[in-house]
Structure 1
Amino acid sequence: MKVRIHKLFQNLLDSVAAEPEAVVGFSNAVPQKLGTFLADLDPDLPLDWNGRDFRGLPELRGHVLRQAGLENLCQLEDVLITAGAAEANYLAIRQLVDPGDRVVTEGPGWPQVGVLTDAIGAELVTVRRRDEEGWTLPLDELRTAVTPDTRLIFLSNPNNPTGRLFQPDELTEIVDIARSVGAWLLIDEVYAGLEWDAPRAASVAGLYERGITTGSVSKALGLQGLRTGWLICRDKSVVMDAVILRENSSEIMNIMGEVLAEIALRPDRYAAAIGRARRDGAANLKTLDKFVASHPGLSWHRPQAGLIGLGRLENGGDSDAFARCLLNPPYRTFILPGSAYGEPRHVRLGVGGGADVNLNEGLNRMAALLTNWNQDQA
């Protein structure tokens, strides 16, 4: 199984090499510091695996269920700790999807499912969200796309990259669509907990017997470097098959990632971290709202949740060309072109990262380019 590089990752590789001075569109909360964990660490901790369960530390899995609102719906055995949500998605897709299977997903959406289904030799059907419809997922089109031979439906909630959040009735209908054909329903929840004007949505692992929830500490908690995520599913065979598949890749979790994630997800600490991320994100979201409103060459639907959204280049042009120009001198600012998500007239805007990403300066430089870009496109 040979995988191709997806455009999002290629852009990230290019941006690191260019050493940008500012970032517009950072997708993680402000990174937490190791020093804040030291008082809770045991200096005699053996740097081996956890020695207790191949699924991950039991107390960590308990925290995962609690933060997802699944403690009364799922058991510890329904949770597998993984190397981020990306590995959780990989383990689910790789074990469930065979060559020739039909997989239905959303666009724009997280591109990992497209890379993996292509490598496996499965059929990928994409239901498009549309800017002019506020990035809602057209459920009538989803129902048409999901046929009796559909093996897996892959979605994200909040949507990555638009920040659109499913309403409770939409989730109910999506589950009904999946159940009508017996399809597995995987929903990536990496931005859950950062809803701006609504409560957190219910996790699909608690709504559907073939529902799979994935998530991580990366985005909302600013702990991407821990590479600690999870897969939740009430079907015991899915979890065990994922354990077996992982045995032949990363094998086991790293103990430091598990221990630090367990500390980070303790209820009081988790609440404080989410509170900080929400305050920081809301402040930057207000800044971005003002920025977009003041530039006629740009528009967006304010994300309902999460740290990123898609801005539309109103005067047309190629988002790849715009992003390349912004990354080069004199602007030296990174922005992800919407082509990474199949939206070539959009760019990804984000509110994460804190002071280190130099957002305000990046917006000033982007404003200068937008002015010139508008003139060039006229």
Structure 2
Amino acid sequence: MYTEDNMRMDMPRPNNGTRKDRKENIDMSIVSKKSKQIPGSLIREMFAMQAGMKDVISFALGEPDFTAPQHVVDATVASFRRGETHYTPNTGIPALRKAVAATYQARGLDYQPSEILIGAGAISLLNLACTAMLDIGDEVLLPDPGWANYKGLMMQVGAVPIPVKVKEENGFMYDIDDLRNAITPKTKVILINSPSNPTGGVASAENLRQISDLAKERNLYVLTDEIYRELIWDGEPYTSIASFPGMKERTVVVDGFSKKYAMTGFRLAWSAAPLEVTTVMTKLLENVLSSVNEGVQWGGVAALTGNQDCVEEMKCQYRRRRELIVKGLNNIEKISCLWPKGAFYAFANISGTGLKSQEFAMRLLQEQHVVVVPGTGFGQGGEGFIRLSYATSEKSIQEGLRRMEAFVKGL
């Protein structure tokens, strides 16, 4: 059947000008409208702005300042020396999937190795989970403030991010009524990040129970980013929403090695999800990654099954740094800071200075050479706050606080 579309194809095409003109037209349209709308990272932007400056104190990047444990490095190198330099199964090597499943079983969560998928960093698995779970136009409830990449991920797969403000008075965790009020017929997924980047907030077991009840009541699914799970500083032990009755089958958990083991450069993480979801995510992984290299996976096995003293040593230092930075911030006039319950971030309230978050951060960098991240880099709910990573030396924390106090006094 000869259609209108066929007619359009058969019609003579207009002369688009010279070769140069055509090239310019192509260059104008080669980038999709969708990708142009995805926001960049203000964290990276602030970090880049310090280039060329001398004597900079940076609280910008959320990366441990420790090196990976030696037994992890040794296991990785040994794998390469054995000649294990080839493709691995899409799902990850069996030994690592078994080791990950064992960590859940030790916590009372019955995940089988077949429900574990190995990826190149938590971000890759969050991406795969979003692609597997969400259709174009589906809505995802996100914490605001929350890690900025979540919004970009949702937009990248055609889903609609719906920010839900998490308030300081609630420890920067979801208020169940706010969450309920944000639900529409298009809502499919609630995203949880506990402990939280950027706030250091940790969801209580009661809060997670309320969210699980709401998810079951409204037939919603949960994507929970638990990359900071081991970095809990006080209060009750960590609880995963997947542990509540009826939630394992409607939850995708993402976790990894970067924060707990200081293995950021290894790009190694995992997801734990119902077999149906894991199977789909594996198919999608083939299209974007194929597989994770074998050496770093054996490093992951060593991390999970080896001596954990290295983790406790790092956590001990984080605790000291946390105390130093929070007390220091609270001693600066016009600044206050809740005690973060987890992760390695302080989310300081600077509204008393009269400056907006971005102006505060920019002037602090220009005048005192101290890098912090404006709270608005994590959503509009972050206005009036700045994020400081205390994954840095105590000496740097002390000097950075001294400069910040001098800056505030000079306002």
Give the alignment's TM-score, normalised by structure 2.
Answer: 0.82
Q: Partner letter of residue 6 of structure 1?
A: G
In the alignment, is the contact (CA less than 8 A) between 2:47 and 2:61 conserved in 1?
Answer: no
Q: Partner letter of residue 162 of structure 1?
A: T
Whole-angstrom distance in 2 between the partners of 1:184 and 1:102? 11
Does 2:213 align with 1:176?
yes
The verdict on how the C-alpha distance between 1:123 and 1:24 changes in structure 2, with shifts beyond 3 A counting, is: closer
Counterpart of 1:44? Answer: 81
Q: Partner letter of residue 56 of structure 1?
A: G
1:276-318: CA deviation from partner (whole Å, max 9, x where unpaired): 2221111001111221221122111110111113101122212
Counterpart of 2:42? Answer: 8
Shift of 1:196: 0.8
Does 2:264 align with 1:224?
yes
Match 1:108 to one of 145, 148, 154: 145
In the alignment, is the contact (CA less than 8 A) between 2:46 and 2:372 conserved in 1?
Answer: no
Shift of 1:224: 0.7
Whole-angstrom distance in 1 between the partners of 2:190 and 2:158? 16
Aligned to 2:81, the other structure's residue is in SS state coil
Q: Structure 2 stretches of 5 or more lacking a match?
A: 1-33
Please give the residue correspondences for 1:1-378 in structure 2 after superposition, counting only pairs within 5 Å: 2=35, 4-12=38-46, 14-15=48-49, 17-18=51-52, 21-24=56-59, 26-33=61-68, 36-37=71-72, 39-40=74-75, 41-42=77-78, 44-49=81-86, 51=88, 53-68=89-104, 69=106, 72-207=109-244, 208=247, 209-233=249-273, 235-266=274-305, 268-269=306-307, 271-313=308-350, 314-328=352-366, 331-342=368-379, 343-354=382-393, 358-372=396-410, 375=411
Whole-angstrom distance in 1 between the partners of 2:320 and 2:280? 43
Q: Structure 1 stretches of 5 or more lacking a match?
A: none
Shift of 1:39: 4.4
Q: Partner letter of residue 283 of structure 2?
A: I
The verdict on how the C-alpha distance between 1:249 and 1:109 changes in structure 2, with shifts beyond 3 A counting, is: same
The verdict on how the C-alpha distance between 1:49 and 1:175 changes in structure 2, with shifts beyond 3 A counting, is: farther
Q: Which moved more, 1:203-212 or 1:286-295?
A: 203-212
In the alignment, is the contact (CA less than 8 A) between 2:364 and 2:371 conserved in 1?
Answer: yes
Whole-angstrom distance in 2 between the partners of 1:34 and 1:281? 16
The verdict on how the C-alpha distance between 1:133 and 1:157 changes in structure 2, with shifts beyond 3 A counting, is: closer
Size of the alignment, in residue pairs? 367
Q: CA RMSD in A?
A: 2.4
Whole-angstrom distance in 2 between the partners of 1:311 and 1:178? 31
Whole-angstrom distance in 2 between the partners of 1:6 and 1:212? 25
Q: Partner letter of residue 99 of structure 2?
A: H
The verdict on how the C-alpha distance between 1:213 and 1:70 changes in structure 2, with shifts beyond 3 A counting, is: farther
Aligned to 1:283, the other structure's residue is in SS state helix
Whole-angstrom distance in 2 between the partners of 1:260 and 1:49? 16
In the alignment, is the contact (CA less than 8 A) between 2:115 and 2:278 conserved in 1?
Answer: yes
Aligned to 1:185, the other structure's residue is in SS state strand
Aligned to 1:173, the other structure's residue is in SS state helix
1:93-146: CA deviation from partner (whole Å, max 9, x where unpaired): 122212221211211112222112233433322211112443232111112223
Whole-angstrom distance in 2 between the partners of 1:9 and 1:349? 11
Q: Which moved more, 1:236-245 or 1:145-154?
A: 145-154
Whole-angstrom distance in 1 between the partners of 2:72 and 2:166? 41
Shift of 1:205: 3.6
1:254-279: CA deviation from partner (whole Å, max 9, x where unpaired): 2232122221222x43x213212221
Q: Which moved more, 1:14-23 or 1:332-341?
A: 14-23
Percent identity reads 24
Aligned to 1:2, the other structure's residue is in SS state helix
Whole-angstrom distance in 2 between the partners of 1:10 and 1:173? 35
In the alignment, is the contact (CA less than 8 A) between 1:94 and 1:116 conserved in 2?
Answer: no
Shift of 1:25: 5.1
The verdict on how the C-alpha distance between 1:34 and 1:303 changes in structure 2, with shifts beyond 3 A counting, is: closer
The verdict on how the C-alpha distance between 1:366 and 1:256 changes in structure 2, with shifts beyond 3 A counting, is: farther
Shift of 1:72: 4.9
Whole-angstrom distance in 2 between the partners of 1:352 and 1:184? 33
Q: Partner letter of residue 361 of structure 2?
A: A
Whole-angstrom distance in 2 between the partners of 1:120 and 1:136? 25
Aligned to 1:192, the other structure's residue is in SS state coil
1:6-37: CA deviation from partner (whole Å, max 9, x where unpaired): 34354255246356632225523332247554
In the alignment, is the contact (CA less than 8 A) between 1:62 and 1:71 conserved in 2?
Answer: no
The verdict on how the C-alpha distance between 1:197 and 1:35 changes in structure 2, with shifts beyond 3 A counting, is: closer
